[in-house]
Amino acid sequence: MRNKTVYLLRHGKIAIGGEQRCYIGQVDIPLEAAGVCQAERLQARLARVGFAAVYCSDLVRSLETARIIAGKTSARVEVRPKLREINLGEWEGLAFDEVARRFPGEFEARGKDIAYYRTPGGESFADCNQRIVAAFHEIMTEAEEPVVIVGHAGVNRLILCYVLGMPLTNLFRIRQDYGCINVIQYAGTSGQVKLLNSV
């Protein structure tokens, strides 16, 4: 990889409603009003960066955020389905307590093996990591500098674990708030995290 600066962003807040924590992987949920405001703040923060493209997944929350960021510039939006959030299979859209009730053994098993447990009909984070790292390499090979990627909480954690050389078992030690910015500086093949979860 050539010397490049990567702006790795999380999409804005989504319209999920209610206070219960839910499993949201590839459920396609749009931004809520607060999420649109967060995307507009990202656009303002990146206004002087001079990027040529914004890379995002094909999930609407990532795509909407990317379009807002690119909206006042001549940058193009590059959709990469491989950047999708983890596929949670039969757990998609369910509240945590419902999963614990309906899948008691599986719920406990995932808690004990967060990196490698595969949800019924879905992916493990290790599965997801393979496609995310491959997509990241593709983008880094072809993208002009600087690189802007609108990811998801799980996706960003996997990229950051990869850059930092952290085991996947530690991915939830990295916080990723809605509308955050992470900055990664690459010098050749060596990446350094310069900013983490900045809101």
pLDDT band for position 127 (cuts 50, 70, 90): very high
pLDDT at 2: 67
Report pLDDT for 100.
92
Mean pLDDT of 23-28: 95
- Asked if residue 47 has pLDDT above 80, the reply is yes
pLDDT, one tens digit per residue, over 81-123 is 999 999 999 999 999 999 999 998 999 999 999 999 999 999 9
pTM score, two decimals?
Answer: 0.96
First to last CA, the chain: 28
Q: What is the pLDDT of residue 104?
A: 85
- Report cis status (omega within 30 of 0) of the bond before 146: yes
Fold of 4-85+124-198: Rossmann fold (3.40.50)
For residue 146, which of 71, 63, 66, 50 has the smallest C-alpha distance?
Answer: 50
Torsion sign across C-alpha atoms 140, 143, 147, 152 = negative
3-state secondary structure of 184: strand
**Helix ranges restricted to H, the chain:** 33-45, 60-70, 96-102, 104-112, 125-142, 153-164
Contact in structure between 92 and 23 (CB atoms under 8 Å): yes
Side-chain half-sphere of 133: how many Cα atoms within 13 Å? 14
Side-chain-side CA neighbours of 153 within 13 Å: the count stands at 14
Name which of 2-6, 50-54, 192-196 the model is least confident about: 2-6
- The Cα–Cα gap between 74 and 92 comes to 36
% of residues, the chain, pLDDT over 70: 98
> Using the 8-state DSSP alphabet, how is residue 146 labeled?
S
Q: What is the pLDDT of residue 190?
A: 87
Task: Report how far residue 195's alpha carbon sits from residue 115's, in angstroms, rounded to the nearest whole number.
Answer: 24
Instruction: List pLDDT tens digits, range 159-182.
Output: 999 999 999 999 999 999 999 999
Residue 1 above 80 pLDDT?
A: no
Quick one: pLDDT at residue 99?
Answer: 94
